Amino acid sequence: MTTAAAPAGRLAARVEDIEVFADDLDVAHAAAIYKEYGCLVVRGLMKPYLADVGGDIEATAQQAVALLPRAEKITEGWKTPDGTLFLPAPPGFHRDQQIMVLAVNYQTSAAFFHSAFDKKTVDIVAAILGPDIELFGSGQCLYKEPVGGHPKHLHQDSAYFEHRFEGPVGVLNYAVDTDLVNGALYVVPGSHTMGTLSHVDTFSHLGLDEDEWPWERALPVTGQAGDSIFFHYRTIHGSQENHSPAPRPVFIHRYRRPDDYVTVSASTAQNRAEAEKRAAEAKKSNQRGLMVRGFRRFTEE
Ligand SMILES: O=C(O)CCC(=O)C(=O)O
């Protein structure tokens, strides 16, 4: 449903317009929604993996907190030896630092890796990107701690990793029931066609100017544990603080064409500006991800 009355960069979509159900999946219809809106909700897609992935997430959270005394300061916050990224904690929190990106990934969790090969998930991605698909990155787990856990301001992933071609399809999966209190994902349907917008430095790294992109321009997607949200890497998205008494983790897979590659990689406005100057030097050859479907043909660079 597209209406002329929609504000710029936003199709007048309701959640029902971008939603399908894993139990009754029409792959072509799901891909058509994604192509029109730059986002797609698939209810129940990751349910089969929840118990195992959730167990690894909680074990990793405990491990990361135990490693906090050994954390080193980095540009984005603090990093513990297991690779977990911490930010300053909200006021009144019982620690000085809170978890942001938890070190659960394909190197640490077989359950997480296994879920990346989910047939229905890869079928949808293949209908979007084509028959040959590689993983981009090692999977990611964003973990909002209880009672104020970090917001992730509205942003486009392309601000962090600009690509040569179509860019990755992100699949963000709710590991717990997620609502407006504990940090539902907001998306801006239709914003994937806007190109990469200028981002500024925020508490949660690169983000859009809040005056220009207030939360009211985005559509919140509440859901149950196991629901998945597909989004184009230029689709504007973000999530607010977790004000519930329990953690709010999500786990994310990213898929791309096997010939696609990062041309600009950044986490701050300054390092983005510097990386843009080197974009033409980027090559595929040192960025080969693991194949989840199809075949990588040899190409000369
Ligand atoms: O935890 C979240 O909801 C934020 C995820 C996100 O914005 C991202 O991965 O780019």
User: What is the band of 5 on the pLDDT scale with cuts at 50, 70, 90?
Assistant: very low
Atom of ligand 1 nearest to the CA of 239: 3
Choose which residue among 239, 240, 241, 248 to substitute to test ligand 1 binding: the one with the highest number of ligand atoms within 8 A of its C-beta: 239
Q: Calculate the average pLDDT of the chain.
A: 95
Give the pLDDT confidence score for residue 8 in this predicted structure.
Answer: 56
Give the pLDDT confidence score for residue 11 in this predicted structure.
Answer: 66
Q: Evaluate if residue 53 carries a pLDDT over 50.
A: yes
Give the pLDDT confidence score for residue 92 in this predicted structure.
Answer: 86
Atom of ligand 1 nearest to the CA of 144: 1
Rounded to the nearest angstrom, the distance between the alpha carbon of 155 and the centre of ligand 1 is 9
What 3 state SS string does the chain have?
CCCCCCCCCCCCCCHHHHEEEHHHCCHHHHHHHHHHHCEEEEECCCHHHHHHHHHHHHHHHHHHHHHHHHCEEECCEEECCCCCEEEECCCCCCCCEEEEEECCCCCCCHHHHHHHCCHHHHHHHHHHHCCCEEECCCCEEEEECCCCECCEEEECHHHCEEECCCCCEEEEEECCCECCCCCCEEECCCHHHCCCCCCEEECCEEECCCCCCCHHHCEEECECCCCEEEEECCCCEEECCECCCCCEEEEEEEEECCCCCEEEECCCHHHHHHHHHCHHHCCCCCCCCCEEECCCCCCCC
- Written out in words, the top-level CATH class of the domain with range 38-284 is mainly beta
Average pLDDT rounded to a whole number, residues 26-31: 98
Choose which residue among 153, 158, 172 to substitute to test ligand 1 binding: the one with the highest number of ligand atoms within 8 A of its C-beta: 172
Atom of ligand 1 nearest to the CA of 160: 10
Per residue in 142-156, pLDDT (tens digit) is 999 998 999 999 999
Per residue in 213-254, pLDDT (tens digit) is 999 999 999 999 999 999 999 999 999 999 999 999 999 999
Rounded to the nearest angstrom, the distance between the alpha carbon of 60 and the centre of ligand 1 is 18
Q: Evaluate if residue 23 carries a pLDDT over 60.
A: yes
Contact 237/185 with Cβ under 8 angstroms? yes
Q: Where are the domains of the chain?
A: 38-284
Give the pLDDT confidence score for residue 12 in this predicted structure.
Answer: 80
Rounded to the nearest angstrom, the distance between the alpha carbon of 301 and the centre of ligand 1 is 33
Give the pLDDT confidence score for residue 228 in this predicted structure.
Answer: 99
Q: Evaluate if residue 45 carries a pLDDT over 90.
A: yes
